[in-house]
Amino acid sequence: MLLEGIETLLVLAEEGTMSRTGSRLYISQSAVSKRIAKLEATLGTKLIIPAGRLIKLTPDAHALIKNVGPSFNEIRGLIFEHQNLDDQSIITLDCSETLVAGYLANALGTYFQKDKYISITTHHTPVIVENVQSGKASIGFCAGHLPAQYSFIAEHLMDEPFKLVFKQPLTALPKAIVVNDLKNPSNISQAAVLQKLGITPLMEMDSYTASAQLALAGMAPALVPQSIVKTLSIDDKYCFEFAELAELTRPIHLIYRQNSYKLPRVKHLVETIVDAVPKAV
């Protein structure tokens, strides 16, 4: 019951409301409230304070999450590793949206005809890493730099190049471009390269597709990964490469827990993804 209460508190901290927490945990709003109340009674401290429709965490709740959250996710991941996956157990594949669209659509469409018990979710890399470490996802397919320390297998598949996309011809490096969120840990290395080149991030988007569409509309050049160029079928005449930007690549990794790979269905899906990703683009 203690683990159940901690899990509920962790989700509540992310979602902010009892109703969204209940939806994510597949329980009622009243069940969420009861779990939190039991956790408060067990710990002898107040953890939440109503704030209109939202829930505000107390300092004790923040301290508990900081101290227990990482260990809880690791415990949950270890429990996941010891579960048996039968032929109808759901295997969750957590992916970068750009990667699943750019490289996996055809392969997974074919794969799904043989194994319909897979679920695909899309997140940014930090969330994918967290989900694999905690066992929420069986496999992660992510772009960008991984954290310095992690407790899973990380298979480096390729370094994906970027291109500058723009409606008008580019004969020299632009002074300002549209980029994706440079505060995202997986993208943060791009900031140093752009600063060194004297290029200003004009806007930081949350979607490479949006960045590309703005560039194609003539707003400003955008830094776009090859997977998005492929997905949107952007014509070569709108794509530009400069030697100075050659180091702006993003590593593509397939991540999974070591014991999960021993399961035949997980291993088969991993191998399918590896085969679908080009070794060079």
Spell out the per-residue pLDDT of the chain, length 281, in tens: 677 888 888 888 888 888 888 877 778 888 889 999 999 999 999 999 988 778 899 999 999 888 887 777 666 666 655 555 556 678 889 999 999 999 998 999 999 888 888 899 998 888 898 888 877 888 999 998 888 878 789 999 999 999 999 999 999 999 999 999 888 777 888 888 999 999 999 999 989 999 999 999 999 999 999 999 999 999 999 999 999 999 889 999 999 988 788 888 889 999 999 999 987 65
Q: H or E stretch including 225? A: strand 222-225
What is the C-alpha separation between 159 and 202, in angstroms, rounded? 25
> What value does the CA radius of gyration of the chain take, rounded to a whole number of Å?
22
pLDDT for res 103: 93
What is the C-alpha separation between 153 and 77, in angstroms, rounded? 13
DSSP string, 230-261: HHTT--GGGEE--GGGTT-EEEEEEEE-TTGG
What is the C-alpha separation between 272 and 270, in angstroms, rounded? 5
Our measurement of the distance from residue 85's CA atom to the centroid of its chain's CA atoms, rounded to an integer in Å, reads 24
What is the C-alpha separation between 135 and 263, in angstroms, rounded? 14
One-letter amino acid at 65 equals I
Q: Spell out the residues 6+ positions from residue 171 whose beta carbon is closer than 8 angstroms to its own.
A: none
